[in-house]
Amino acid sequence: MMIHRLRTIDAHAAGEPLRLIVDGFPSPHGKTMLDKREWVRRHADHLRRALMLEPRGHADMYGAILTEPVMPGSHAGVLFMHNEGYSTMCGHGVIAVTTIALERGLLMPGGDGTTIVYDSPAGTIRARARWAGEAGRAGEAGRVDSVSFVNVPSFVLHGGLAVKLSSRQVRADVAFGGAFYAIVDSEAVGLPIDVAHLPELRRVGMEIKLAVDASVAIAHPLEPGLRGIYGTIFTGPASDDRADLKNVTIFADAEVDRSPCGTGTCAVMAVIDAMGLLGEDKPFVHESLIGTRFTGRVASRTLVGEHHAIVPEIEGSAWITGEHTFIVDDTDPLKNGFRI
């Protein structure tokens, strides 16, 4: 009998889980983060399945591993995983990983004691923590109150795209915020953003995702390895007076984001900015399905190929929920996980 042990530290950011694998996972090979992601997909996907899927995880679990950096000046690389495979970037994941890394002393930040620079498949991400109470330092007892991160340039790839569904035609904006999303007004599909309508939101969200992917080329103009629709974002009126917009993101294989979705918030901000409606100095507050919030602002502007882009900064909070040692027994017929 062969036993494989994996140690994780779990957290949630605005309600969305993050399982950081800290021991028992092989070190990914590759010169770039996309290379490392492909190495994990080819050589360690059974471990992703074991930790993301039942009986150790669930259909909406999300995870991450830290790697050696690939760029000078970066503290670490980070790869994100979910029920279907691997994403290119994850905003709630950056918030949760940074909180875990600082509160548990896994990474030593810059001289200010608050900044960690990550390499991700989508590009370089600079995260900054705000400590609760008196300023803390990595490795010391302390609570990270919030984390903000400056994301990769975010832009609209296809605006007002006509998408034919089985029951109707809708308009979608395809935007990049670290991953590509199809962004649709929830009223256009006749579904309010609430838990009661989640089964239909999942179904229609996946139908939109597949329809957009089949109808138009989705690829980053500067990095061809970043391609395809990651998810569908339904937007609607906020339930909270403190928020500007409410959303639910259906991504990967019908996974539902409990948080406002960090990269999705960046993509939505890019769409609003393209419409001329994003205030330059006013924060953008994005509400989730469960009422939690992320706050975004425009840090700067740039061009991505021929596309006007914003460089967004997103802020949110995460909490550690547990520390686990998982056992994978080679004799277990369900050792690599399953989904229902």
Residues with catalytic roles? 90
8 A C-beta contact, residue 328 and residue 4:
yes
Tell me phi and psi for residue 53, to 5 degrees.
Answer: -95, 170
Give the count of beta carbons closer than 10 Å to the beta carbon of residue 329: 12
In 50-143, beta strands by DSSP E = 63-67, 76-81, 86-87, 115-120, 123-131
User: What is the distance between the alpha carbons of residues 217 and 224, in angstroms, rounded to a whole number?
Assistant: 11
Name 12's bridge partners.
Answer: 17, 319
Residue 277 CB-density burial (10 A; 0-12 exposed, 13-18 middle, 19+ buried): exposed
Name 86's bridge partners.
Answer: 81
User: What is the distance between the alpha carbons of residues 279 and 207, in angstroms, rounded to a whole number?
Assistant: 33
Helix (H) or strand (E) holding 208: helix 198-215
